Structures are given as C-alpha cells and as structure tokens.
C-alpha cells in the first residue's frame, strides 16, 4: 500500500530485521516516525542524539545487527556525529537516517540549516548520501544492509528531503532471500597451513573482527599461543593456557611477539590504540587476515595477506589442520609467569584498581555484557579481567569518546532483555551523557552502573604531570551522584567495602530500574 | 623554551582573550602548559558541546570572540553543533583542537581519536579551518582566525595543532600581523539610500542581530525618520518601551502589513531568514516595495532583491545616513503605525501565547535589566513572537537559525561569565534542559548567579503537536523528565517549584535573586498534547 516515504522506510527496515530504532523526533523527521510503531518496531527515545547514536552502537555490538538511529536535520545530525565517528573507528554497523532540507541554495537561514549536512556526515561515516526520491532511499538502504553483510561494518548516513518524506510512495521491494554469496566459498588457506606445519611457536593475534567461532578449539588444535586486542577479549575463552591476554600494549609483549616463529593476525587493525607503539615487534613471518584491504596494506608489512572474513577463515583453517600435530614451542607455565609479571606492572602503574576489578568480576555472571567508558578503571580491567565469552566487553577504543558507557549499555540491555548487562564509567565520562539515565529508568532496565569516581580527569592529570605541566582544569566539582540518580528514578548505592559493592551489584541485576553504584578509591 | 602551544596561548592574551572554555585531554596538554600562568580564566564544562555553547553565550554578551579548547576527534565532533549554531547566528567563536601527529594524518592507522580528515569536517560548519604545522604558521593562522571577528560577518573558526607539533619549540617569526584597513563605505550608495528615505512617507526599519549593539544609532535614526523599528529575535532589547518599537516577529500578519504598507524599508544587519521572516513556512515574506539593505556580508546581498544594497557595518552606516539626512521636517505618524502593528501582533498570537508573554513580563519586572538566555521552549517561542526586552542584546536563544536543543544552560553560563554584574535568567524546557543538564555543575563550580528556569511540560510538546497536526501517532515525544528538585539538591542548588502563573513566577524569581550562586526554578506547565 502507498504511504508517505518516511513511513515506508520504517517498514523497509522492519523487513530487513530491524526491531529497535533509537532517536529523537522533530518536526522535520516526523514522517519517519509515522511508520515505526505501525511496522512493529520499538522506538527508544534518547535525551540527546549523542545518546541515540551510542545506544545504536551498543545494540549493534550486542547483536551483530545494524543499530539504527533517526535524527533531525542540522543539530540532530551534528549531535550524532561523535557516535558515528566512534562506530567508524570500531567497525560497528550503524545506520543513521536523517531528514534534510529540500532547498539549500536559494534559501538561507532556514531552521536547522547548515553549510553542508551530507558532507559533514561523510567526514565521519563510511559514506553519506542524500535521497531525492523513494527509489534512491530504497537503493541506499539496500546498499547499506548489503555492505553490513559483506564488507567491514561501518556507519552509513542517509538523508531524505522533507518533501520526499511526506510524499506518498509505493513500498520498498521485499528483500530477496539471502543470496548465495561468493564470500561463503572457503578461502585458500594452503599457504597458511604450510607455514603452520613448520612453526614451533605460532602466535595468533585475534581482534574484534573475529566472530564467535570456537577459537579455543583452533588454537588448541594448533598448539598456538594468542594475544587479543581490546575488542577481541574473550575469543579464546577463560583460562586458555597459552593466552597472553589483552596485553599487546605492555612493552614486554614485543619481546614475546619477537620470539614467535609465525604470527597470524586475524580481524585486528593493529592500530595505535591496540599496541600503543608503532611496530608489532615481530621478527617472523606475519600473516594478516582481514576484510579490509586498507588494513592489509598497512605498515606492518604482512608477508601473506588474505582478504576474507574471519569466520570463513576460521572454518577453513579448522578443516585444513585437523591432522596437523600441535606445535610444542610454547610452555603454559612460562606464559602464566609472564602474565603474573604484567599484572604486577599494571597494578604498580594504577594501584588498587585491579583488586576492585577482581571483586566486581566475581560478583557478575560470566555472561554479563559490559560497556565501559573512557576511565582508568577500564584501562586496567582490560588487562586483568579475562573474559569467558567473546564480544562481551565493549569499549570506545579507537575514537575514544567520553560518555560512551551509559548510553551504549542501554542499547545493549535493550537488545539483551533478561540477560545481564552492566556499565562501568568514570565520573567525568558519566557526566557527559548522564541524562540518558532517564531512558534506562523509563525502560525498566536492570542495569548496574558502576561509577568509578576519582573526582577528576585523573588520566589527564597524570599526563600533565608527566609533561611537567602544573595540573590545571582537571578537577571538576561533582554532584552528589547518588541523589542525582534518584532524581531520575534510578536506585543508588555507595558501598564502603568490596563485599558491599558485590552485593550491590548482585541486587542491581534483579532491580526493576537501573542502579548507580558509586565506587571511590577509598573502597580499598 | 616556549612551546608552540604556549605561544598560541600568548597570542590569545595579546588578542584580548580573557576566558577559555575547554576540557583538557592527553592531546591538548601543551595548550594547558601556558594557560595557568597566562591570566586567562579557564572554565571546564562537562561536555565539549557545553564548551561551544558557553563560548557562544560569552561572545554574544561580551562582543568578543568566545574561545574553546577541545581534544582531537570526539572533542571536535562534540563541538560541531555549537559551531553550527554560531554560524547560523553570526557569533564570533574560535575553536582550537588537537589533531594526531602530522605524519599519521589521512593514513587510517587507527590512532586514538583519529578521523579521516578533521579539517574537512570542521569546514562543514566553520567559516574556516586551518592547521598549524610549525612556528611559521602560528601568527598567520591566528590572524586569519581572528579576521572574521574584526571585519565582515562573524562566525566560528577552527585551528588544529598536531600532537607532535604543539610541544615543539616556538621560534619567533618576524612576520608582523597585517591588519586590514576598513574600506570606507560607498558614499554614492549612502546618498542614494538617503534620498529614498528622505522622500519616504511611511518608512520602516527592520533590524537584526547584526545591529544588536547599535542601540543609540538605531534609535536616533528611527526618531529622525519617524520610522517604526521591527526587531528580529536577535535584535530584541534595542528599543525597550520606545513608541517606535515593534518587538514582534515579522512573520505575523500585522507586522507584515506594516512592512508592506511602507514605501521605504531599511533593513539593517538582518539575514531576512526564514526563522524570523517566515516561521510559519508560507513560502513568502512581507513584500518590500523599496528595500535598502545594509549588511556586513556580501553573499547576503545576492539573496534578496534590493533597490540599494550597502555592504558595511550597521552602526556605521546608520550614523552616516543620519548625518546626511539632516533635521526632520514632518511627522510621519511613526508611533501610531508602530502601535497599530504592536496591537495587531499581540492580538494575533492568541491567548496561550499572550499568557506566556505575561510570564516573561513578570520575569522582566522581577529581575530588571537581565540577560535572558533561551532554549527551544514555549515561553521562548512566545517571546520570539512578541516580547519587548529591557536590555539591548539581552534576549537571545537558539530556537532560530540552527535550532539546537540544549543551548540554554551552557550559553547562560557563558553569558554570566562575560557580564559578571548582570543578572542572568536561563529559560529551558524539560526536553532541552536534559540535553545539557550536566553543565549545571559548571555553574556551581564557577558559583555563577544564574537563575535556571525550567518550563516543564513533560516532553517535546511542540513536536507532539506537530505530529498530531499531520496525523502521525505521537511517538517519542515524552522523555520522562527527572525530578528537578532532586537534580537541584544533588548539585547543591536552591530550588523552587511553581505553577505557570505570572504572580508566582515573579515571587520565585525575586526570592531566587537573593541567593548567591546558581539556583533552579521549575515551572510545572500543563502538557496540552495529553488532552487531545
């Protein structure tokens, strides 16, 4: 049936598996809102478009499905650019649909008008395009979903003119049955297998691009050791004896990598935020497996490059090495010693946090999905908190934006009703997006929010001290966070011991609303 | 040794910058090296969007550029909305950001805070964006950044300094900053304008934000011409209580009638933009039979047909016209025409808007000579339609132009810092307030005497009404507001909760004024979208 195009777009998204849309309505995009409930999609109303964007990100990371956000022209789009930038750097599938003005050259000074909205989004998104017709809008949505499936997932922006959103249009064509894609053909791993045949100390580096295959089985079959990036944590499961953990940024990791006689990096960008140094440190052959040619061509000088998705690679590798004898060059005792040493280093750098992290971990079910903000707590936890499951800890890694944790956690909790989700944020980062607490209350999410409050931008203060700058502008007055949470209708707790913190966390998973758990370094 | 970051701060001092709004990060520590000893006041907001809006509010009140320091990547993307608003409203603003190391740019190495092309992004909202790649670049970049603040139409500019450059030694260059000499106004055009105006029987002045600092010049000229003065949103307060003042939107029919009945319209510093002149989107604006335009921006002149178009500063040109006109000869019933327009406009806005207008008047009486900073909310919409403010430049909000929600709270903070002796009222809706609620703590930090008034109608009522009007089932318009009393208490602010009643408002605002530091007043307003 004919409907305004704005409504048809929501129906089209529903047909492609979209169940939740995050956004804020305005006069410009109201036609898009016409179709949301009609199509049977849940709408989650954020308090700021930045919140909507991070929620869509959190939802996408939890489900692997694209996160969708609806925003208005101009400020709505500008407000969501930070989340788009974050999704770009962390390869998160996200679709942002905005309204735009019909005429921008002859008419100036229109409400929400900006210099060039499409171009602005294009500087942070994978691509940004304007639809002047229903056909164009449908083609762009189709393209976005095809690319989410086939390419490195990244955010896309589609803007549709107000006049077109209002105009009656035929429905979008119904999606084809999943087509057989060449991607499904197994990649040729013979060269990898022949190198593995010779290797005594093969080392895998697993990144966020690895899907949830059973990497532990593969690593065990090969006798391979591994590192994970921040986004790849949990891929080998808990307590894999040859796991060096998410310790790539440790200076000592370069030595370990240099001692490997074959290094295979899968779905890992090996960027600055993965290594905190420019070179990996390998002396042996490096094999890279990635969807993105840009990654394959980088300065790490891979000797063998496979452009494929990690799942197909893992499957092919598993089948091709079933009869291979596992390598014997790695000793689990040495690895656990190394890890104990690194843990001591972490604890010396930022004292005390590791103990709190241990207590927190013990109080959470193993399948808890955690969303962290930019906080020293998360920097420490990354290295000392081994994950039992992959893709269960999400962090704004590359772009590095404050204010990610809470809204992304809300997106995750919406996707995971009935399963445990938690947020860990610092006091400054929490401040960035705290108003989204109202959303979590509205939705009745049983969300523990651990607020690590050191009363300042401690990481920046440390950096100023290192640069011999008298620390300034790093201490801000904090509100009474517990009262503030209660003003939003959330629960709050300020535990004074680790045991109290643990019971607060356990209670929070059963509470009908989110619970702010205010933790300061004094807890130790 | 002086680093380039420190030299940039010295340059700001030399250019009379006394306040910087910013959130430091590892990428901008070098900018902070010199800051503490520079004498510049640093204000730390809770989000870079707050930094941008504070710089905007500061600039509108002080007339000086608002300056923000932000980190690479998200720091800059967070500031974009504020830059977009500043561009739409011609507010002078300089944003200084970090950027990743020079050698890494554009390579997609996955560095922290990395963007493919940060300047390309900034350019989509800023007038101009430049990178300082070494000592030699600093002075020219600063000159260019400040040029739009000194001549031409102001707006936001952006400078970025790479992570590996900011700490390099600054080598003083011998470049002496070149200053532009102001081009004298074209006297032939002014003479033409004068002869049109001198012959006019029913002249009218349209005054916009470009003239909001020219109270005296505009008043003398209006009195000499005996011309009613229609003020756009950003010009309100110019002619408070004056018989020639028409503090009403030129979108209203009564005001359009006044303009259409005029045989010579003089437009000073106004874009003639849609959010002032055609906010009901009828597709046209009052027809102007003989338009004389004065504007700083040459681009603007091409967009509307005008009989005489003078590129220049509104105050300077108004003074030149006044001088050339000589003494008045006859009364042209200016006051009577203005009164008719005022009366018609006030009638036209309807009873609901008139009630909101009365609340604004109660605020003005309770707190005279205040700076009233607004967000997009009903009382502000009402005031934008009709309200005469008692302080030139003392009425501004972001419901025009870019129309960014969340502007009010941080912009009021910037305003209070720019005018420490003024009373500042901030009027936000519950929806808009939630966009930038964390910035309340910045007001607490700085102990600013701002009264934050929150018009709580429980949601985005303007949007809900608009959805109903086109038959869309209302969805996503009811963000449950927090308990504002609890919010105030958690921030240590005194709190009042009142009804939408002029007398109650006056009482609460008077009481609030006696408190040092920020305070919060919640007005519980009916949510009309519920009833239908």
3-state per-residue secondary structure call for A106-159: CCCCCCCCCCCHHHHHHCCCCEEEEECCHHHHHHHHHHHHHHHHHCCCCCEEEE
**Minimum mean pLDDT among A16-25, B468-477, B497-506: which range?**
B468-477
Given a cut of 90, whether residue B303 has pLDDT beyond it is: no
B423 φ/ψ angles, rounded to the nearest 5 degrees: -80, 140
| pLDDT band (50, 70, 90) for residue B181 | very low
Render pLDDT for B337-355 as a digit per residue (tens, 0 to 9).
999 999 999 999 999 999 9
Asked if A109 and B25 come within 8 Å (Cβ–Cβ), the reply is no
* pLDDT for the residue B239: 95
Asked if A111 and B470 come within 8 Å (Cβ–Cβ), the reply is no
Asked if A488 and B482 come within 8 Å (Cβ–Cβ), the reply is yes
* pLDDT for the residue B531: 38
Q: Which of B97, B161, B88 is nearest to B126 (CA)?
A: B88
Between CA B82 and CA A74 the distance in angstroms is 11
A304 three-state secondary structure: strand
Residues of B in contact with A441 (CB under 8 A): 480
The count of C-alpha atoms lying within 13 angstroms of the C-alpha of B416, restricted to the half-sphere facing its C-beta, is 27
- Which DSSP state fits B131? E
* pLDDT for the residue B530: 43
Chain A nearest-CA residue for B473: A34
Query: Which of A45, A78, A435 lies nearest to residue B476, judging by beta carbons?
Result: A45
* pLDDT for the residue B253: 96
Residues of A in contact with B447 (CB under 8 A): none
Contact A475, A456 (CB under 8 A): yes
Q: Where does A151-271 have alpha helices with state H?
A: 162-166, 190-198, 215-222, 253-259
* pLDDT for the residue B180: 44
Residue A111, sorted as left (phi over 0), alpha (psi -120 to 50) or beta, turns out to be beta
Residue B326 is encoded by which pair of tokens?
A: 């000589």
What is the residue-wise DSSP string for B324-384? Answer: HH-S--S---HHHHHHHHHHHHHHHTHHHHHHHHHHHHHHHHHSTT-EEEE-SSHHHHHHH
Max Cα–Cα distance, chain A, nearest Å: 72
Q: Which of B273, B532, B255 is nearest to B401 (CA)?
A: B273
**B303 or B463, which is more confident:** B463
Render pLDDT for A100-147 as a digit per residue (tens, 0 to 9).
999 887 777 788 999 999 999 999 999 999 999 999 999 999 999 999
Query: Which of B87, B115, B273 lies nearest to residue A123, judging by beta carbons?
Result: B115
Burial class of residue A340 in the structure, from the number of CB atoms within 10 Å of its CB (0-12 exposed, 13-18 middle, 19+ buried): exposed
Render pLDDT for B239-288 as a digit per residue (tens, 0 to 9).
999 999 999 999 999 999 999 999 999 999 998 988 899 888 788 888 88
Between positions 382 and 411 of A, the ones with CB within 8 A of B are: 398-403
Sequence-distant (6+) residues with CB within 8 A of B182 are B151
The β-bridge partners of A7 are none
| pLDDT band (50, 70, 90) for residue B50 | very high
Given a cut of 60, whether residue A180 has pLDDT beyond it is: no
Helix A376-384 vs helix A332-349: angle between axes, to the nearest 10 degrees? 170
Given a cut of 50, whether residue B238 has pLDDT beyond it is: yes
* pLDDT for the residue A184: 61
Between CA A124 and CA B115 the distance in angstroms is 7
Query: Which of B23, B33, B274 lies nearest to residue A109, judging by beta carbons?
Result: B274
Residue B526, sorted as left (phi over 0), alpha (psi -120 to 50) or beta, turns out to be beta
**Minimum mean pLDDT among A50-59, A203-212, B116-125, B174-183: which range?**
B174-183
Render pLDDT for A250-298 as a digit per residue (tens, 0 to 9).
999 999 999 999 999 999 999 988 998 989 999 999 999 999 999 999 9
What is the residue-wise DSSP string for A240-262? Answer: -TTB--S-TTSTTHHHHHHH-SE
Q: What percent of chain B has pLDDT over 90?
A: 76
Chain B nearest-CA residue for A428: B46
Which residue is it, tokens 């990547």?
B73
Q: Which of B407, B440, B373 is nearest to B82 (CA)?
A: B407
Interface test with A, best of B5, B28, B29 (most A CBs within 10 A): B29
* pLDDT for the residue A479: 92
The sign of the dihedral angle between the CA atoms of B311, B239, B377, B62 is positive
Contact B420, B432 (CB under 8 A): no
Given a cut of 80, whether residue A31 has pLDDT beyond it is: yes
| pLDDT band (50, 70, 90) for residue B36 | confident
Render pLDDT for A378-402 as a digit per residue (tens, 0 to 9).
999 989 999 999 999 999 999 999 9
First to last CA, chain B: 69
Residue A6 is encoded by which pair of tokens?
A: 């704005």
Query: ∠ at Cα B19 (B398, B443), nearest 5°?
Result: 60
Shortest Cα distance from A210 to chain B (angstroms)? 17
Given a cut of 90, whether residue A87 has pLDDT beyond it is: yes
Quick count: other Cβ atoms within 10 Å of Cβ A277?
Answer: 13
**B191 or A105, which is more confident:** B191
Given a cut of 50, whether residue B532 has pLDDT beyond it is: no
Q: Which of A327, A313, A282, A325 is nearest to A192 (CA)?
A: A313
Between CA B63 and CA B65 the distance in angstroms is 7
Residues of A in contact with B36 (CB under 8 A): 470, 472
Quick count: other Cβ atoms within 10 Å of Cβ B64?
Answer: 16
A431 touches chain B (CB under 8 A): yes
Render pLDDT for A345-382 as a digit per residue (tens, 0 to 9).
999 999 999 999 999 999 999 999 999 999 889 999 98
* pLDDT for the residue B304: 81
Between CA B240 and CA A475 the distance in angstroms is 43
Residue A183 is encoded by which pair of tokens?
A: 């991607």
Sequence-distant (6+) residues with CB within 8 A of A29 are A6, A23, A70, A71, A72, A73, A76, A98, A99, A165
Number of A–B residue contacts, CB under 8 Å: 283
Given a cut of 70, whether residue A182 has pLDDT beyond it is: no
* pLDDT for the residue B176: 52
Average pLDDT, chain A: 93
Chain B nearest-CA residue for A270: B110
Asked if B463 and A439 come within 8 Å (Cβ–Cβ), the reply is no
Shortest Cα distance from B241 to chain A (angstroms)? 29
Shortest Cα distance from B117 to chain A (angstroms)? 7
Between CA B148 and CA B460 the distance in angstroms is 36
Query: Which of A34, A110, A399 lies nearest to residue B472, judging by beta carbons?
Result: A34
Asked if B42 and A473 come within 8 Å (Cβ–Cβ), the reply is yes
Render pLDDT for B64-81 as a digit per residue (tens, 0 to 9).
999 999 999 999 999 999
Helix A332-349 vs helix A353-363: angle between axes, to the nearest 10 degrees? 120
Sequence-distant (6+) residues with CB within 8 A of A46 are A22, A23, A24, A52, A55, A407, A436, A439
* pLDDT for the residue B452: 98
Shortest Cα distance from A122 to chain B (angstroms)? 8
Average pLDDT over residues A318-336: 95
Sequence-distant (6+) residues with CB within 8 A of B303 are A106, A108, B272
Given a cut of 50, whether residue B140 has pLDDT beyond it is: yes
Asked if A479 and B272 come within 8 Å (Cβ–Cβ), the reply is no
* pLDDT for the residue B183: 56
ipTM of the complex: 0.87
Given a cut of 90, whether residue B448 has pLDDT beyond it is: yes
Burial track B432-443 (b if 16+ CB lie within 10 A, e otherwise): bbbbbbbbbbbb
Average pLDDT over residues B366-377: 97
CA distances from A327 to A214, A320, A330, B205, B452 (A): 19, 15, 8, 87, 68
| pLDDT band (50, 70, 90) for residue B185 | low
Asked if A477 and B472 come within 8 Å (Cβ–Cβ), the reply is no
């Amino acid at each position: 049936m004919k409907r305004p195009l704005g409504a048809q777009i929501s129906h089209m998204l529903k047909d492609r598996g979209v169940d939740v849309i995050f956004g804020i309505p305005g006069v410009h995009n109201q036609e898009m809102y016409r179709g949301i409930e009609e199509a049977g999609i849940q709408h989650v109303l954020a308090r700021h478009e930045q919140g909507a964007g991070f929620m869509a990100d959190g939802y996408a990371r939890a489900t692997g499905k694209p996160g969708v956000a609806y925003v208005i022209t101009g400020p709505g789009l500008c407000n969501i650019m930070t989340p788009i930038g974050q999704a770009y750097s962390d390869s998160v599938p996200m679709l942002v649909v905005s309204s735009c003005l019909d005429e921008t050259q002859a008419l100036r000074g229109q409400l929400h008008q900006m210099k060039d909205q499409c171009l602005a989004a294009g500087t942070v998104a994978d691509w940004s395009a304007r639809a002047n017709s229903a056909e164009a809008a449908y083609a762009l949505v189709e393209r976005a979903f095809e690319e989410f499936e086939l390419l490195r997932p990244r955010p896309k922006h589609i803007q549709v003119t107000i006049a077109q959103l209002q105009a009656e249009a035929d429905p979008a064509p119904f999606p084809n049955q999943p087509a057989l894609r060449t991607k499904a053909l197994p990649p040729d791993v013979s060269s990898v297998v022949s190198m593995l045949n010779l290797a005594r100390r093969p080392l895998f580096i697993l990144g966020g691009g690895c899907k949830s295959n059973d990497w532990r089985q593969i690593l065990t079959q090969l006798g391979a050791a591994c590192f994970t990036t921040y986004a790849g944590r949990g891929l080998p499961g808990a307590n894999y004896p040859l796991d060096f953990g998410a310790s790539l940024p440790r200076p000592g990791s370069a030595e370990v990598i240099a001692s490997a006689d074959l290094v295979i990096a899968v779905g890992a960008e090996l960027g600055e935020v993965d290594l905190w140094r420019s070179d990996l440190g390998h002396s042996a052959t490096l094999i890279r497996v990635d969807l993105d040619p840009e990654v394959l061509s980088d300065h790490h000088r891979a000797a063998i490059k496979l452009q494929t998705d990690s799942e197909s690679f893992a499957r092919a590798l598993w089948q091709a090495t079933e009869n291979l004898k596992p390598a014997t060059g790695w000793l689990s005792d040495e690895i656990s010693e190394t890890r104990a040493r690194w843990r001591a280093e972490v604890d010396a750098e930022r004292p005390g946090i590791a103990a709190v992290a241990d207590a927190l971990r013990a109080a959470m079910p193993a399948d808890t999905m955690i969303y962290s903000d930019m906080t020293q707590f998360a920097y420490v936890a990354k290295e000392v908190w081994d994950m039992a499951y992959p893709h269960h800890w999400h962090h704004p890694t590359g772009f590095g934006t404050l204010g990610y944790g809470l809204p992304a956690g809300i997106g995750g909790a919406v996707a995971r009703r009935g399963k445990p989700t938690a947020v860990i944020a610092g006091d400054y980062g929490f401040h960035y997006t705290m108003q989204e607490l109202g959303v979590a209350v509205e939705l009745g999410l049983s969300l523990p929010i651990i607020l690590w409050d050191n009363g300042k931008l401690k990481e920046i203060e440390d950096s100023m001290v290192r640069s011999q700058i008298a620390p300034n502008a790093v201490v801000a007055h904090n509100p009474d966070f517990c009262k503030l949470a209660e003003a939003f209708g959330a629960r709050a707790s300020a535990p004074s011991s680790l045991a109290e913190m643990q019971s607060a966390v356990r209670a929070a998973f059963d509470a009908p609303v989110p619970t702010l758990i205010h933790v300061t370094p004094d807890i130790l | 040794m002086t680093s380039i970051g420190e030299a940039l701060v010295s340059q700001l001092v030399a250019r009379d910058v006394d306040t910087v709004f910013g959130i430091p990060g590892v990428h901008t520590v070098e900018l902070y090296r010199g800051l503490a000893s520079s004498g510049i006041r640093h204000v730390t907001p809770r989000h870079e969007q707050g930094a941008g809006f504070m710089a905007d509010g500061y600039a509108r009140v002080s007339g000086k550029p608002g300056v923000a320091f932000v980190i690479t990547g998200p720091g800059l993307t967070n500031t974009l909305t504020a830059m977009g608003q500043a561009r739409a409203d011609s507010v002078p603003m300089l944003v200084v950001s970090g950027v990743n190391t020079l050698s890494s740019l554009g390579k997609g190495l996955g560095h922290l805070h990395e963007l493919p092309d940060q300047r390309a992004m900034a350019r989509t909202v800023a007038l101009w964006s430049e990178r300082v790649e070494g000592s030699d670049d600093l002075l020219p970049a600063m000159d260019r950044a400040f040029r739009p603040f000194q001549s031409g139409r102001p707006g936001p500019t952006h400078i970025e300094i790479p992570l590996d450059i900011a700490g390099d030694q600054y080598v003083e260059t011998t470049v002496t900053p070149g200053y532009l000499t102001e081009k004298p106004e074209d006297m032939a055009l002014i003479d033409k304008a004068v002869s049109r105006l001198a012959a006019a029987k029913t002249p009218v002045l349209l005054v916009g934000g470009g003239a909001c600092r020219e109270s005296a010049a505009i008043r003398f000229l209006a009195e000499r011409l005996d011309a009613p003065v229609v003020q756009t949103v950003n010009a309100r307060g110019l002619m408070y209580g004056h018989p020639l003042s028409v503090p009403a939107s030129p979108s209203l029919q009564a005001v359009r009638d006044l303009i259409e009945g005029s045989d010579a319209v003089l437009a000073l510093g106004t874009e003639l933009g849609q959010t002032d002149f055609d906010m009901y989107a009828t597709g046209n604006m009052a027809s102007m039979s003989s338009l004389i335009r004065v504007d700083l921006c040459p681009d603007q002149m091409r967009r509307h047909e005008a009989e005489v178009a003078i590129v220049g500063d509104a105050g300077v040109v108004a003074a030149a016209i006044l001088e050339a006109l000589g003494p008045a000869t006859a009364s042209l019933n200016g006051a009577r025409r203005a009164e008719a327009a005022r009366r018609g406009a006030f009638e036209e806005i309807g009873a609901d808007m008139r009630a909101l207008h009365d609340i604004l008047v109660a605020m003005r009486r309770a707190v005279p000579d205040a700076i009233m900073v607004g967000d997009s909310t009903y009382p502000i919409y009402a005031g934008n339609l009709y309200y005469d403010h008692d302080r030139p430049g003392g009425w501004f909000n972001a419901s025009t132009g870019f129309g960014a929600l969340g502007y009010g709270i941080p912009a009021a903070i910037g305003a209070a810092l720019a005018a420490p002796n003024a009373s500042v009222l901030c009027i936000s809706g519950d929806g808009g307030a939630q966009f930038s609620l964390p910035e309340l703590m910045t007001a607490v930090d700085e102990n600013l005497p701002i009264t934050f008034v929150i018009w709580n109608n429980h949601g985005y009522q303007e949007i809900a009404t608009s959805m109903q009007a086109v038959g869309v089932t209302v969805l996503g318009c009811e963000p449950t507001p927090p308990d504002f009393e609890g919010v105030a208490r958690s921030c240590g602010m005194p709190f009042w909760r009142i009804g939408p009643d002029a007398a109650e408002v006056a009482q609460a605002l008077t009481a609030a004024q006696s408190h040092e530091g920020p305070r919060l007043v919640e007005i519980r307003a009916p949510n009309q979208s519920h009833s239908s």
